[in-house]
RNA sequence: GUGGGCGUAGCUCAGCUGGUAGAGCAUCGCGUUGUGGUCGCGAGGGUCGCGGGUUCAAGUCCCGUCGCUCACCCCA
């Protein structure tokens, strides 16, 4: 009866494509973020953050059918009042905002300008496994004025290879191509629709060579052209031998030569500095609308069907203010997709779901200040801990710790001369002093470990 | 945007050809006076996505709608 006067709570329903993590998953995410950030910094990439919104006009500027992807942002009241078009949209990547940032702050930046950026992005696409509407990207880019030295194209994947090597992941391989190779090759074959051809070639892994041949001839390619296109696409080498294999196909074009030289330089650098991390794969397409040179794509070996977890490439005109052109090269980790795979397949796990290493037990509420003092002392030495929420029976306090994975329970005044601490995994309980007890290093904070 | 599948407790699901809801797991409590995990007993928790229709009666049939999911498209 009186219930009817209470506002009914809005029903909670899941929102597809907007992932939220449990604390134990967040431990994993934060560890990954820590490794990514520190490695970016180790390579001298300072951090920036851009606003979440850009003018819709700017977001649409990059071609493609971006309009389907963009979430418009406007005041609710503005919609009701004017019904006007939204002028702002949430960014769907970090490259567009970065390009705008470069132009806007060009006068205060030093070029070549390198930066890293770790932020959420939003895309209005249909969510699927590993594809979200809100997700986190971790980008590094280098941008210069007028010209960009090609060696930066070799630097990008080295940074990523270093990150992957530090994370508890199955082996990953960064596949590299240079857009100029297929472009020059196709031009040498007399194929005009480069983008259309690449789009089909990109499906090779998914639908197989026969279906690709069918699609290519359907697009107007002659049988021998389609055959050559497939031959090029099938080339994949861990060293620079791809150059000879392309040459052996007998197609010649100056743009092809440029592409081969550029890719050979990237692979060469990779072989020296990150052996085994890079592979030249001539079917990689990526971002048809804007990449102009090197392109990167990354797969987890054994989980190829999940797609790329880290991709990027070179833009001859990342940004432009009309008079000056800023070429750039960048690469980005799709952290959310990576985590989605790891969680779905249970490949990694956090050793516990709370930062606390110690639960300080409470004897009774009157002695809570004693327990708080213990906690303060432990924290003063960098040992994360919490005080038991209630002076329940010790069994319940231990269970409280156990449920959360807290490895130690501290009992004030339990010993002859003072306190005791119990490792609840082994059951071992020893005398200890809050001012000097050493927490084992591996228990100091939650760790992320591979399960297999 | 297009097409298929599905929407019952926090989670995974059962509920036959319509007769006013169940299991397992999880959570919490108890198993007597301060040391957990096993085990036993018990409890809480559901407008059966929402709206309408057929019927004496709908979780169960019909229509609509919303959501979730898979695939396509695309992927910055």
DSSP secondary structure, A51-116, as one string: -SEEEHHHHHTT-TTGGGTPPEE--HHHHHHH-PPP-EEE-SSSHHHHHHHHHHHGGGS-SSEEEE
Quick check: A367 and A393 in contact, CB under 8 A?
no
Question: Which of the nucleotides lies closest to A95 (Cα–C1')?
Answer: B76
Question: What CATH code is carried by the domain that includes residue A406?
Answer: 3.40.50.800
pLDDT attached to residue A64: 53
| Residue A303 contacts residue A345 (beta carbons within 8 Å) | yes
Pick out the residues of the known binding site of A. Answer: 93-95, 123, 137, 141, 286, 290-291
* Structural element, H or E, at residue A27: helix A23-42
Map tokens 């992957």 to a residue: A164
Measure A409 CA to B43 C1' (Å). Answer: 29
Flag whether A141 is in a domain: yes
Nucleotide nearest to A297 (CA to C1'): B75
Do A341 and A408 lie in a common domain?
Answer: no
What's the CA A435/C1' B27 distance, rounded, in angstroms? Answer: 37
Q: What pLDDT, on a 0 to 100 scale, did the predictor assign at position A450?
A: 87
Domain that holds residue A387: 358-450
Q: Which residues of A are annotated as a binding site for L-histidine?
A: 93-95, 123, 137, 141, 286, 290-291
Q: How far is the CA of A19 from the C1' of B8 (A)?
A: 25
- Neighbour-count burial for A253-269, b at 16+ CB within 10 Å, e otherwise: bebbbbbbebbbbbbeb
- The count of structural domains within chain A is 2
Whole-angstrom Cα distance, residue A380 to residue A362?
19
pLDDT score recorded for residue A75: 76
Could you tell me if A297 and A148 lie in one domain? yes
Residue A241: predicted pLDDT: 95
Q: What's the pLDDT score for residue A130?
A: 84
Residue A78 pLDDT: 64
pLDDT tens-place string over residues A78-108: 655 555 555 888 999 999 999 999 999 999 9
Does one domain contain both A366 and A343?
no
3-state secondary structure of A450: strand
What tokens does A249 get?
């196909």
Domain contains A188: no
Nucleotide whose C1' lies closest to the alpha carbon of residue A398: B36
Residue A341 tokens, joined: 């795979």
Cβ-proximal residues to A443 (8 Å cutoff; 6+ apart), any chain: A357, A407, A408
Residue nearest to nucleotide B49 (CA to C1'): A13
For the CA of A393 and the C1' of B31, the distance in angstroms is: 15
Nearest to A280 by CA among A304, A245, A331: A245
Q: Which of A135, A129, A140, A181 is nearest to A313 (CA)?
A: A140
List bases, strand B, within 7 Å of protein CB.
1-2, 27-29, 34-37, 47, 49, 67-76
Ranges under pLDDT 70 in chain A: 1-14, 62-68, 76-86, 287-289
Domain boundary among A299, A324, A349: A349
Q: Which ipTM value was assigned to this complex?
A: 0.81
The token pair at A439 is 């927490």
Distance of A165 CA from B17 C1′ (whole Å): 60
Dihedral angle at the C-alpha atoms of A303, A305, A309, A311, nearest 10 degrees? 130
CATH number at residue A29: 3.30.930.10
Q: Which residue is nearest to nucleotide B70 (CA to C1')?
A: A128
Question: What is the rounded end-to-end Cα distance, in angstroms, of chain A?
Answer: 56
Integer Cα distance of A430 and A438 in angstroms: 12
C1'-nearest nucleotide to the CA of A399: B36
Instruction: Specify whether A329 is located in the same domain as A446.
Output: no
A206 within a domain of the structure (yes/no):
no
Residue A232: C-alpha distances to residues A147, A191, A195, A254, A433 (Å): 29, 14, 15, 16, 69
Are A141 and A29 in the same domain? yes
CA A3 to C1' B23 (Å) is 32
Residue nearest to nucleotide B69 (CA to C1'): A128
Distance (Å) from CA A12 to C1' B46? 14
Which residue has the least CA–C1' distance to nucleotide B27? A403
Nearest to A341 by CA among A169, A163, A213, A162: A169
With left for phi above 0 and alpha for psi between -120 and 50, is residue A272 left, alpha or beta? alpha
> Does residue A398 share a domain with residue A444?
yes
């Amino acid at each position: 009866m009186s219930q009817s006067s209470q506002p009914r709570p809005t029903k909670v329903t899941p929102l597809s494509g907007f992932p939220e993590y449990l604390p134990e998953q967040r431990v994993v995410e934060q560890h990954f973020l820590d490794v990514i950030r520190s490695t970016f910094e180790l390579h001298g990439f300072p951090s920036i953050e851009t606003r979440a919104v850009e003018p819709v006009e700017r977001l649409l500027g990059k071609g493609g059918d971006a309009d389907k992807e963009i979430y418009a942002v406007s005041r609710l009241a503005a919609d009701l009042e004017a019904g006007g078009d939204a002028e702002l949209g949430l960014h769907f990547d970090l490259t567009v905002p970065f390009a705008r940032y470069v132009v806007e702050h060009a006068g205060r930046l030093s070029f070549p300008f390198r930066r890293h950026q770790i932020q959420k992005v939003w895309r209005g696409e249909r969510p699927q496994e590993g594809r979200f509407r809100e997700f986190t990207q971790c980008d590094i880019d280098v941008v210069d004025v007028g010209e960009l030295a090609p060696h930066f194209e070799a630097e990008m994947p080295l940074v990523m290879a270093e990150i992957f090597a530090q994370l508890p992941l199955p082996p990953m391989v960064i596949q590299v191509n240079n857009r100029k190779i297929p472009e020059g090759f196709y031009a040498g074959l007399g194929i005009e629709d480069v983008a259309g051809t690449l789009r089909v070639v990109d499906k090779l892994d998914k639908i197989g060579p026969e279906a690709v041949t069918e699609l290519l001839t359907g697009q107007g390619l002659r049988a021998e052209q389609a055959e050559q296109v497939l031959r090029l696409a099938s080339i994949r080498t861990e060293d620079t031998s791809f150059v000879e294999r392309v040459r052996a196909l007998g197609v010649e074009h100056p743009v092809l030569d440029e592409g081969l030289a550029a890719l050979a330089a990237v692979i060469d650098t990779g072989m020296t500095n990150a052996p085994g991390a890079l592979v030249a794969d001539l079917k990689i397409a990526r971002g048809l609308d804007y990449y102009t040179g090197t392109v990167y794509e990354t797969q987890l070996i054994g989980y190829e069907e999940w797609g790329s977890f880290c991709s990027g490439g070179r833009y001859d005109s990342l940004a432009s203010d009309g008079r000056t052109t800023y070429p750039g090269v960048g690469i980005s980790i799709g952290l959310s997709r990576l985590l989605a795979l790891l969680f779905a397949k249970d490949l990694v796990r956090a050793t516990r779901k709370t930062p606390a290493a110690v639960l300080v037990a409470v004897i009774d509420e009157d002695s809570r200040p004693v327990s708080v003092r213990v906690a303060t002392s432990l924290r003063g030495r960098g040992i994360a801990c919490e005080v038991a929420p209630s002076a329940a029976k010790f069994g319940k306090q231990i269970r409280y710790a156990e449920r959360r994975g807290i490895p130690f329970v501290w009992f004030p005044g339990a010993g002859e001369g003072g306190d005791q601490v119990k490792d609840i995994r082994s059951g071992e309980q020893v005398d200890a002093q809050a001012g000097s007890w050493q927490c084992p290093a591996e228990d100091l904070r939650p760790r992320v470990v591979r399960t297999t």
